[in-house]
Amino acid sequence: MSNRVAETKNERRAAAKAARLAAEARAAKAKKRRQQWAIALAGLAVVAIVVAIVLFVRGGDDKPTTPQAGASATASAPAQSQAGGIPADVDPALKTKPEVKAGEGTVTTLKVTPIIEGKGPAAQNGQTVTVNYVGVTYADGKEFDASWNSGQPFPVQLGSGSVIQGWDKGLLGVKQGSRVQLDIPAAMAYGEKPPAGYPAGALRFVVDVLSVQ
């Protein structure tokens, strides 16, 4: 009888031990799965952050009239000759960077002043105009951007909203081969309190329309 009791106790101990080992194995397996999920989620988070950074950088590059980094030339700097990207049949004056001075008084409405009258087609909404330009702050004539500094004319599609409103409206009807001065109020430029890196207040641009397509 005592032997039977001993055997029963041993069987119970063995069964309990087997159950405990099985539970520990299941717990270890569940822990491993959780770790794998955590690693996978962390990887997805890293990928999402990288994609967001790339999209942000590309978005920043799409602004066509953002002041160029390092542009330190002032409006009173000597005119510079440039041949790259300029059609051979334009007025010779359009091959030289213009001097742009500060304005007088205040600017409340968009003002377009012809400097050189071109003979080509007039720019219309939806068309792409290729231009050279110099931009200064109206109040003090300080240059903040110029395509001449990069050596490449700048293409823009009118009416697409890719540039400030003063350009979209001010270049309508301007003929190929023209040079015009745009005096733009703050409301049609970047505003009185623009984001960092953008000029505040009224602006003055001298724009050469090299082609209309």
Q: What is the pLDDT along the chain (213 residues), one digit of tens a residue?
A: 445 545 555 666 666 666 676 667 676 676 777 777 667 666 666 556 655 554 444 444 444 443 333 333 333 333 333 455 677 778 899 999 999 999 999 999 999 999 999 999 999 999 999 999 999 999 999 999 999 999 999 999 999 999 999 999 999 999 999 999 999 999 999 999 999 999 999 999 999 999 999
Backbone angles phi, psi at 144, to 5 degrees: -120, -15
Q: Which residues contact 135 (CB under 8 A, 6 or more apart)?
A: 65, 67, 100, 143, 144, 145, 146, 199, 203, 204, 205
CA 72 to chain centre: 21
Rounded-to-integer distance, Cα 135 and Cα 180, Å: 12
* Residue with token string 């409301």: 187
Query: Which pTM value belongs to this model?
Result: 0.61
Distance CA 34, CA 122 (A): 67
